[in-house]
Chains A and B, each alone.
Chain A
Amino acid sequence: AQKVTQAQTEISVVEKEDVTLDCVYETRDTTYYLFWYKQPPSGELVFLIRRNSFDEQNEISGRYSWNFQKSTSSFNFTITASQVVDSAVYFCALSSTGGFKTIFGAGTRLFVKA
């Protein structure tokens, strides 16, 4: 069975703090893909990153960075120096060659206060 767990339901930080959003996944497939999406109050899910199971290199994009660790089945997302505009719900998702659909986690709501 495939599963994505985002244990943090809500996180509240003050602007300029660093924050890490956790994502733990389960799959028996050896080839799979992990995604992060951002959902601002407007509703649209905005694609942030895709990672395949054979590439464990961490990625940095501006203030965003992702830490993929197969040993712990985790794909965590860190925002450095958070800003109010980062306030949104963030979803981690998994798709694999053995499953037909993308599985989304329950999401983590991030509040960044000025």
Chain B
Amino acid sequence: ETGVTQTPRHLVMGMTNKKSLKCEQHLGHNAMYWYKQSAKKPLELMFVYNFKEQTENNSVPSRFSPECPNSSHLFLHLHTLQPEDSALYLCASSQSVAPVETQYFGPGTRLLVL
């Protein structure tokens, strides 16, 4: 089983749609992350969850709503998105949020907002 999986891999949605991105990790990790990667911009950390509790919200607009039901699953609920939200959304996990821990990434969801 691949370490970190993400579905869907590609998503096209209108600005009025509601959709969800799913991430699952099979590594037994306790921390999970959402990142946004836009063209020509550095990776932007969006949310951090540690043992299912949100520990970081990096000033993300409320149209992005994360959910972490358990340490293995992470969702990103999307609603009323804007075209500038089109990007690659990457999920990652690590053993803990300690600086020493390596983050392992999923393949990402390429989102296009029309």
Chain A positions within 8 Å of B, measured between CB atoms, are 31-33, 35, 37, 42-47, 50, 52, 91, 95-97, 99-102, 104-107
Q: How many residues of B contact A (CB 8 A)?
A: 22
Judge whether B42 and A100 touch: CB under 8 Å.
Answer: no
Judge whether A32 and B42 touch: CB under 8 Å.
Answer: no
Judge whether A44 and B106 touch: CB under 8 Å.
Answer: yes
A-B contact pairs, 17 of them (CB 8 A): A31-B99, A32-B99, A43-B108, A44-B90, A44-B108, A45-B92, A45-B105, A46-B105, A47-B102, A47-B105, A50-B102, A91-B43, A95-B100, A100-B97, A101-B45, A101-B56, A104-B43
Judge whether A33 and B99 touch: CB under 8 Å.
Answer: yes
A31 to B108, CA, bound (A): 31
Chain B positions within 8 Å of A, measured between CB atoms, are 41-43, 45, 48, 55-56, 58, 88, 90, 92, 97, 99-100, 102-108, 110
Judge whether B102 and A45 touch: CB under 8 Å.
Answer: no
Chain A minimum-CB-distance residue to B89: A43
A100 to B45, CA, bound (A): 11
Across the interface, which residues of A come within 8 angstroms of B92, CB to CB? 45
Across the interface, which residues of B come within 8 angstroms of A44, CB to CB? 90, 105-108
Across the interface, which residues of B come within 8 angstroms of A35, CB to CB? 102
In the complex, how many angstroms separate the beta carbon of A30 from the nearest chain B beta carbon? 12
Judge whether A106 and B107 touch: CB under 8 Å.
Answer: no
Across the interface, which residues of B come within 8 angstroms of A37, CB to CB? 105
